[in-house]
A and B are shown apart, each in its own frame.
Chain A
Amino acid sequence: MRHYKPDKNCITTLRIVVAFLTLLLIAIIRYFIPAYIIRLTASVSVVGISLLVMLVYLPLYFSTFSYTVTDKDIIRSSGVFIKHHQSAHFSAIQYSTVISTPFSSYTGLNFLILFLYGGQIRLPFLSRSDLNEILELSGCKAREEV
């Protein structure tokens, strides 16, 4: 049995993305809202929400993510407020899709989607090496090479 967690670089990447979006929003607020009080309130609210997301929600969200690979199954657990546990037999996997973003080896933004009979199981925020290992353990690699 192997356990996997999301790539730690992912949280940093997402924090940078949130920070960038915050700055962009503040710039838009400054440009379009003339009233000082409203501008200040809106900016402070945006900064507050961003800080909450970056410092509280994202760490919580990532701490709940885990993938377990056994001899026959893959189990995904996630969810901050509502917990989800998804399990699928390797034998049910029909095919796979890997989504990679630019510089994914540094950012950890790799996604694996396993298509099964009657649905799919999505494994986001995996490091390259973990993703390849899961593909190998689940038998997807072997089926591609037979």
Chain B
Amino acid sequence: MYHEHPIRILRYSAKNIWLLIFPLLRGVSTLRFDKDRFYSWVKGAWFDILILGLIMLFGLVRWYSSRIDISAAAITHNDGVIFRLRTTIPYSSVSLITVERPFYLVPFRAVMLRCDTSAGLFNSPDMKLMVSEKVIRELKRSIPDVREKGSSDDIPRPTALSILLFSVFFSSGFSGVVYIATFFFKGGDIAHDMITASLSRITMETEKLTGKLLLRIPEAAIMIGSLFIAAWLLSFTINVLRYYGFALTLDENCMKVSYGTLTRKEYRIMSEQINYTDLRQNLIMKIFSAVAVHISCAGYGYGKRSLPVLLPVRKEKNMGRELEAIGILHGIKNEFKPKRTGFWQYIWLPVILSAASFPVHFIAADIVPALSDLTLFAAIMLEVPSIWFIAVKFAAFLTSGISLYDDKIMIRCSRWTTFHTVIADRSRLVKLTLRQTIFQKMIGKKCSVILYFEGEEHKSYRVKGIDIKKAMEISELLDHHMESVPI
């Protein structure tokens, strides 16, 4: 039997901070000072100390009541003083064990332990404890580990460059930030010029006045733009610090992933609990045949700023053969591809936006000529991402598709600007949807195939423009019989 790390007493004590309301109330009641002020202060201080002592005592009692048992088959946590909670997680159910060593806990030799299963609340660990290194050593002896011999040695170790590239691509939308910053830098100037010009028409005196006042407009715009760039730089730095020192070892049963500088994280992932692997790319990565390997496993990549990454940016051809254990194979072609007539389905939205931006500008400039510069600027700013989106969606049309091989299913599709190659066991497929719009029905008898896999998140992967007969064949091969569906 073990206890949590004694540093936990502070965390448990903090929960009772509300008790400080009593000294506070007392302080409010003695706001009027009198000759016995000193005596009153001493009395008050004793009371405050007593309350603080009580808070610490509660923390100590909570800590003492929190006990951990590590047996050969399960980890048990007993918690609570009045209401006793006993949570037992068998190792056979564990999908992920996370050990976090934040820099501020290192001097105390305390670590955060998280235990996740495929059950429990979404996006929250099933067991979260602050323990000592001794408990971690004991736990590591009991849970499956990567074999010393026979573990994958040819897994490419991520280089510093791949970590940097990964941080660039996944830091809050690099291109988006550059775009927004440009919008403010240039937009601020245009707004300033326009307002100055219109006001100068009124009187010369007003021009003098407004000239001084309006100087601040471009400054504010530059500041907002700079703020976006700074935010991105911060996000980039955090990502570099978070993923620095990335290491991965695996065998057929287990994977060990570790990374981080300020907070070193170690993950032990049970391979059989991985729902699917997801090779993600954006357009630039696609052009250079680079991918980032992500996985879907309960608990992995939990948290707002975490990504379920297994391998940061790598060249596709440099992936080790050992990754075949998790279904990442090379040279698999799309067995079922979108029909040529499905082209429009992929690009219709950016094409319409791109085609409409300048006509809208001309109409607006005709109605309000004073706004002509601003609408022209807005039209150009809308045109740039639209053309980019057309390129992305065109690439998506060329590369999307579905393949079925062995007991695996592979889907290549896109979501916004990200390309996904999802590889999963067929048994992990929980739902298949065929969706047909009236346009798909009228032109070429096509439909969208939407696939849902096991996992904590309700995520779907959609391939548009598949021939209806081929879609039926896919559903048949995946044991989702839809012959009777009236499409």
Task: Tell me if B427 counts as interface (CB < 8 A to partner A).
Answer: no
Instruction: Tell me whether B126 and A100 are in contact (CB under 8 A).
Output: no
Distance (Å) between the CB of A103 and the closest chain B CB? 11
Task: Tell me if A58 counts as interface (CB < 8 A to partner B).
Answer: no
- Chain B residues with CB under 8 Å of A96's CB are 87-88
Instruction: Tell me whether B86 and A100 are in contact (CB under 8 A).
Output: yes
Q: Type the 1/0 row for B433-473, where 1 means its CB is closer than 8 Å to any CB of A.
A: 00000000000000000000000000000000000000000
- Chain B residues with CB under 8 Å of A145's CB are 71, 73-74
Measured CA separation A145–B472 after assembly (Å): 47
Instruction: Tell me whether A115 and B126 are in contact (CB under 8 A).
Output: yes
Task: Tell me if B124 counts as interface (CB < 8 A to partner A).
Answer: no
- Chain A residues with CB under 8 Å of B85's CB are 97-99
Instruction: Tell me whether A146 and B84 are in contact (CB under 8 A).
Output: no
Q: Quick one: which of B73, B84, B90 has the most chain A CB within 10 A?
A: B90
Measured CA separation A1–B483 after assembly (Å): 39
Q: Which of A102, A116, A144 contacts B119 (CB 8 A)?
A: A116
Measured CA separation A102–B80 after assembly (Å): 11
Range of interface residues on A (Cβ < 8 Å): 20 to 34
Task: Tell me if B92 counts as interface (CB < 8 A to partner A).
Answer: yes
Range of interface residues on B (Cβ < 8 Å): 20 to 34
| Chain A, Cβ-Cβ closest to B80 | A99
Measured CA separation A146–B93 after assembly (Å): 13
| Chain A, Cβ-Cβ closest to B86 | A98
Task: Tell me if B38 counts as interface (CB < 8 A to partner A).
Answer: no
With A100-B83, A101-B83 already in contact, the answer to whether A143 and B117 are too (CB < 8 A) is no
Q: Type the 1/0 row for B65-99, where 1 means its CB is closer than 8 Å to any CB of A.
A: 00000011110100000111111111011000000
Instruction: Tell me whether B82 and A101 are in contact (CB under 8 A).
Output: yes
Measured CA separation A134–B262 after assembly (Å): 45
Instruction: Tell me whether B84 and A94 are in contact (CB under 8 A).
Output: no
| Chain B, Cβ-Cβ closest to A102 | B82
Q: Which of A98, A99, A143 contacts B90 (CB 8 A)?
A: A143
Measured CA separation A65–B12 after assembly (Å): 36
Distance (Å) between the CB of A2 and the closest chain B CB? 21
Q: Quick one: which of B93, B119, B126 has the most chain A CB within 10 A?
A: B119
Instruction: Tell me whether A143 and B83 are in contact (CB under 8 A).
Output: no
Task: Tell me if A9 counts as interface (CB < 8 A to partner B).
Answer: no
Instruction: Tell me whether B126 and A146 are in contact (CB under 8 A).
Output: no
With A99-B83, A102-B82 already in contact, the answer to whether A117 and B88 are too (CB < 8 A) is no
Distance (Å) between the CB of B85 and the closest chain A CB? 5
Measured CA separation A95–B94 after assembly (Å): 9
Interface residues of B in 103-155 (CB under 8 A from A): 117-120, 126
| Chain B, Cβ-Cβ closest to A144 | B74
Q: Type the 1/0 row for A97-141, where 1 means its CB is closer than 8 Å to any CB of B.
A: 111111000000000000111111000000000000000000010
- Chain B residues with CB under 8 Å of A100's CB are 83-84, 86
- Chain A residues with CB under 8 Å of B92's CB are 143, 146
- Chain A residues with CB under 8 Å of B126's CB are 95, 115
Q: Could you show 16 A-B contacts with beta carbons less than 8 Å apart?
A: A94-B117, A95-B87, A95-B117, A95-B119, A96-B87, A97-B85, A98-B86, A99-B83, A101-B83, A101-B84, A115-B126, A118-B119, A143-B74, A145-B74, A146-B90, A146-B92
Q: Which residues of A contact B (CB under 8 A)?
A: 93-102, 115-120, 140, 143-146
Q: Which residues of B contact A (CB under 8 A)?
A: 71-74, 76, 82-90, 92-93, 117-120, 126
The 5 lowest CB-CB distance pairs between A and B, nearest first, are A94-B119, A115-B119, A143-B90, A144-B74, A95-B89
Q: A140-B88, A143-B74 are in contact. List 12 more A-B contacts (CB 8 A).
A: A94-B118, A94-B119, A96-B88, A97-B86, A98-B86, A99-B85, A115-B120, A117-B119, A140-B90, A143-B73, A143-B93, A146-B73
